Amino acid sequence: MGTPEFAVPTLEALLSWPGCQVVAVLTAPDKPAGRGQQLAESAVKKTAVQHGVPVLQPTNLKAPEFQEELRGYAADLQVVVAFRMLPEAVWNMPPMGSINIHASLLPQYRGAAPINWALIHGEKETGVTSFFLRHEIDTGNLIFQDAVPIADDDDFGTLYEKLKTTGAALALRTVQAIAAGTAPSVPQVASAELRSAPKIQKETGRLDFQRPATELANLVRGLSPIPTAFATLPDGRTLKVFRARALAEDAAEATPGRWVSDGRTYLRVQTSAGQLELLDVQLEGKKRMAVADFLRGFNLSTLLG
Q: Is 106 annotated as a binding residue?
A: yes
Task: Please give the full DSSP string across the chain, using - where no structure is assigned.
Answer: ---SGGGHHHHHHHHH-TT-----EE-PPPEEETTTTEEE--HHHHHHHHTT--EE--S-TT-HHHHHHHHHT--S-EEEES-PPPPHHHHT-STT-EEEEESS-TTTTBSS-HHHHHHHTT-SEEEEEEEE--SSTT-SPEEEEEEEEPPTT--HHHHHHHHHHHHHHHHHHHHHHHHHT----B-----S---B-PPPPGGGGB--TTS-HHHHHHHHHHTTTTT-EEEE-TTS-EEEEEEEEEES---SS--TT-EEE-SSS-EEEE-SSSEEEEEEEEETTS--EEHHHHHHT--THHHH-
- Distance, in Å, from the CA atom of 221 to the CA atom of 245, rounded to the nearest integer, reads 9
Q: Is 98 annotated as a binding residue?
A: no
Q: Is 207 annotated as a binding residue?
A: no
Q: Is 219 annotated as a binding residue?
A: no
Binding site for (6S)-5,6,7,8-tetrahydrofolate: residue ranges? 104-107
Q: Which residues belong to the annotated binding site? A: 104-107
